[in-house]
Amino acid sequence: MSGRNIGEPILVVEDISLSFGGVRALQNVSFDVREHEIRAIIGPNGAGKSSMLNVVNGVYHPQVGTVTFKGETRHHVDPHHAASQGVARTFQNIALFRGMTVLDNIMTGRNLKMRTNFLQQALWVGAAKREEMAHRRKVEEVIDFLEIQHIRKTPVGRLPYGLQKRVELGRALAAEPELFLLDEPMAGMNTEEKQDMCRFILDVNDQFGTTIVLIEHDMGVVMDLSDRVVVLDYGRKIADGKPDEVRSDQAVIDAYLGVAH
Amino acid sequence: MLYREAGQFKATYVEDQQIFPIRQDRIAFAILLAVAFLVVPLVGNQYWLSAILTPFLVASLATIGLNILTGYAGQLSLGTAAFMAVGAFMAYNFELRMPWMPILGSFALAGLCAAAVGMVFGLPSLRIKGFYLAVATLACQFFVLWALQRIGWFTNYSTSGVITAQKIVILGYAVVTPASKYLLTLSVVAVMALLAKNLMRSQTGRAFMAVRDMDVAAEVIGIRMMRTKLLAFAISSFYCGVAGALYAFCYLGTVEPEAFNLDISFRILFMVIVGGVGSILGSFLGAGFITLLPIFLNLVSGWIRHTFGVELDHAMLSNLELIIFGGLIIFFLIVEPLGLARLWQIGKEKLRLWPFPH
Ligand SMILES: Nc1ncnc2c1ncn2[C@@H]1O[C@H](COP(=O)(O)OP(=O)(O)OP(=O)(O)O)[C@@H](O)[C@H]1O
Ligand SMILES: [Mg+2]
């Protein structure tokens, strides 16, 4: 793609197996993600894509396998630890804080960077106030970047779907992540909204060098955005490589023909 | 002066994040405070000061406490009265056993005791939510009353189980008149309301709301579930504890554990619902509404007697009160979950645009 400096693997998942009762969501899945790369995960419905992201940031705990992030290998990832290591994500079904404004949602994304305790905050003097304002400035940068200035004081529950997706991206961006996990960021959007979202993702990758793992069903988007693609089917990895290699892979074609796509 | 924000531009984020960003609101609030502190103690009669305004302020403080836990952090609790009871009886014991302690020190320590009890009974919240959590806090309600009735130490072995709150002395000045008790209550409530407002617009408040709205997402962005929930229980119970101490020292005077029964817990919960879930202003509106409703009904019945010569008896009036309560709660739960605070806000938005309809 562009002239970005794709580096060494920053994330390595090795031999992950995860099951829920009898359902085997993931079986012996291994792949790596290089620094500054945009890596797509594709596959038919129920293939285990979302489960994979949930393993990476510790929402699900696999029965077998390890996750190595920035050189630290773990079998059992703790979500808080993953967040403090610089992993942020968005969810397939929007997981915003519905009762809060856009501004507060994005501010919450910076919680790990805040140092004052609740007593200082209650007094709203000195350090607490300064901290709040410093982070507000950062959040306004995110708001400008995503072009959502006009809705910053709106409760997110009242926003249309496409904008909610954008706000969720903003909340994750506010954490200034090193690894960004995006679960179907464009699902349910119209063409124009998709184009905007693609632009934001490319800009994040380009301007901040953020490594991105992206789940997406729209093959056009995947081909345009990603450097490399992992294909899952029934919890197994069936292909891994450059977008055009994967597209012409027979196993992938069969998997997609098996379900109506 | 028209209610407008035109021309009031926010040059800094500090200005934008004020509690009252609109100048007219700031002026109105300053006037309200001046009236509450300076005018009311002078003109208010004994009945209004000690039978209406003081309990209203105490109820507001307890409602803020429950609102922090239920409205902001989303943890349903029926243990409010229990935390108030802990505050009341512990303040009595601190005054009794450490007479040198300034009264506000006793109130604060009593609040801390309530916070500790709150944290213990908040532990189930790490596993259960909603209805089941409410049942667990119900256990707290019964356990605390049982302990206060059975363990003599709490009541200083009084045979009747009733305690008499000590006389309040602040810097050599005895707080005995209704006006001075009202002023003490008002000062404590005003300061604590301000602290609560600050806390809820900071990171701690956002963490509470995040846990309330979407706990998985909150955890994924790094909010610690256990710490946040227990902090919510602690702060909430602290507020309820101080409210209980004020209730005993500035309102009731003599107190038995039964004064803090489940009825009070429900009353405070109603105040949260009617006033507005997740709103400090709403806590005052809810408490005010529910405190004043019986008085208002009394006035109406007096008016009916006067104009129509029809006598509404007492039983009927209190039934009427219950019916109105029930109706309102259903109304607010279904139609306007954000309560009076939201209606107030909508009214202001309309006013800001008046006379243009859009
Ligand atoms: N929490 C859970 N409990 C039980 N089963 C689950 C859970 N999460 C996922 N599964 C199962 O694991 C399998 C993989 O699900 P996953 O959500 O990872 O698929 P996906 O590839 O993201 O699908 P989609 O494209 O529909 O989002 C499915 O069979 C699903 O039912
Ligand atoms: Mg999925």
B239-270 per-position pLDDT tens digit: 999 999 999 999 999 999 999 999 999 999 99
- Per the domain annotation, does B147 fall within a domain? yes
Q: CA–CA separation, B42 vs B35, rounded Å?
A: 10
Ligand 1: residue of A50, A184, A256 to mutate (most ligand atoms within 8 A of CB) is: A50
* CA distance, residue A225 to nearest chain B CA (Å): 25
Containing B272, the helix (H) or strand (E) segment is helix B262-275
Q: What phi and psi, each to the nearest 5 degrees, are found at residue B189?
A: -65, -40
- pLDDT at residue B234 tops 80: yes
3-state SS class at A260: coil
Q: What's residue B3's pLDDT?
A: 65
- Summarize pLDDT for A40-60 with one digit per residue, the tens: 999 999 999 999 999 999 999
* Centroid of ligand 2 to alpha carbon of A258 (angstroms): 18
Q: Please give the pLDDT value at position A1.
A: 47
Top-confidence residue, B310 or A163: A163
Judge whether B300 lies within some domain.
no
Query: What is the reported pTM?
Result: 0.92
Q: Whose CA is nearest to atom 2 of ligand 1?
A: A20
| Domain extent at residue B201 | 21-258
Q: How far is Cα B245 from Cα A109, in angstroms, rounded to an integer? A: 38
Which pLDDT score is estimated for B6?
60
**What whole-number percentage of chain B has pLDDT above 70?**
95
Closest CA to B240 of B94, B69, B100, B356: B69
What integer best gives the mean pLDDT of chain B? 90
Q: From the CB of A49, is ligand 1 less than 6 Å away?
A: yes
Q: Do A118 and B219 touch (CB under 8 A)?
A: no
Q: Mind listing the domains of chain A with CATH numbers?
A: 1-86+177-189+210-261 (3.40.50.300), 96-176 (no CATH)
**pLDDT tens column, A193-242:** 999 999 999 999 999 999 999 999 988 899 999 999 999 999 999 999 99
Q: How far is CA B289 from CA B60, B328, B336, in A?
A: 10, 11, 16
For the cut 90, the answer to whether the pLDDT of residue A259 exceeds it is no
The pLDDT score that the predictor gives to residue A167 is 96
Chain B hits for A114, Cβ within 8 Å: 203
- When CB atoms are compared, the residue of B14, B212, B217 closest to A91 is B217
A98-113 confidence digits (pLDDT tens): 999 999 999 999 999 9
- Name the band, by pLDDT with cuts 50, 70 and 90, for residue A260: very low
E-state strands within B210-315: 254-255
pLDDT band at B199 (very low <50, low <70, confident <90, very high): very high
Residue of B151, B9, B171 lying closest to B102 (CA atoms): B171
The mean predicted confidence, pLDDT, of chain A is 93
How many C-beta neighbours within 10 Å does residue A244 have?
10
Distance, CA A157 to ligand 1 centroid (Å)?
A: 26
Residue A30: pLDDT over 60: yes
Helix (H) / strand (E) element for A29: namely strand A23-34
pLDDT at position A2 over 60: no
Flag whether pLDDT at B33 surpasses 80: yes
Q: Answer whether A22 contacts ligand 1 (Cβ < 6 A).
A: no
| From A99, A108, A140, residue closest to B221, measured CB to CB | A108
Taking an 8 Å cut-off on Cβ atoms, the answer to whether B195 and A80 are in contact is no
> ipTM, 2 decimals?
0.92
> pLDDT-based confidence at B189, cuts 50/70/90?
very high
In chain B, the number of structural domains is 1
Query: Is B284 part of a structural domain of the chain?
Result: no
Asked whether the beta carbons of A174 and A142 are under 8 A apart, the reply is yes
Domain-located, residue B187: yes
Residues B274-287: pLDDT tens digits?
Answer: 999 999 999 999 99
Residue B310 lies in a domain: no
Do A95 and B199 lie within an 8 Å CB cutoff?
A: no
**Is B189 a domain residue?**
yes
Q: Are A133 and B14 inside 8 Å of each other by CB?
A: yes
- Check residue B96 and give its pLDDT: 94
The three-class DSSP label of residue B344 is helix
B137-163 exposure pattern, b = at least 16 Cβ within 10 A, e = fewer? bbebbeebbebbeeeeebbeeeeebeb
Could you tell me if residue B163 is inside a domain?
Answer: yes
Give A49 Cα–ligand 2 centroid separation in angstroms. Answer: 5
For B84-106, what is the mean pLDDT?
95
Q: Tokens 């000045």 belong to which residue? A: B173
Question: Measured between CB atoms, does A84 come within 8 Å of chain B?
Answer: yes
DSSP string, B287-331: HHHHHHHHHHHHHHHHHHHHHH-PPPPHHHHHHHHHHHHHHHHHH
Q: Whose CA is nearest to atom 1 of ligand 1?
A: A20
Min Cα–Cα distance to chain B from A134, Å: 9
Mean pLDDT value of segment B58-85:
96
Please name the member of B196, B206, B224 whose beta carbon is closest to the beta carbon of A108.
B206
CA of A174 to the centre of ligand 2 (A): 24
Q: Is the CB of A92 under 6 A from ligand 1?
A: yes
In a domain, B344, yes or no: no
Residue B8 phi, psi (nearest 5): -100, 85
Average pLDDT of the segment spanning B338-354: 80
pLDDT over 80 (residue A126): yes
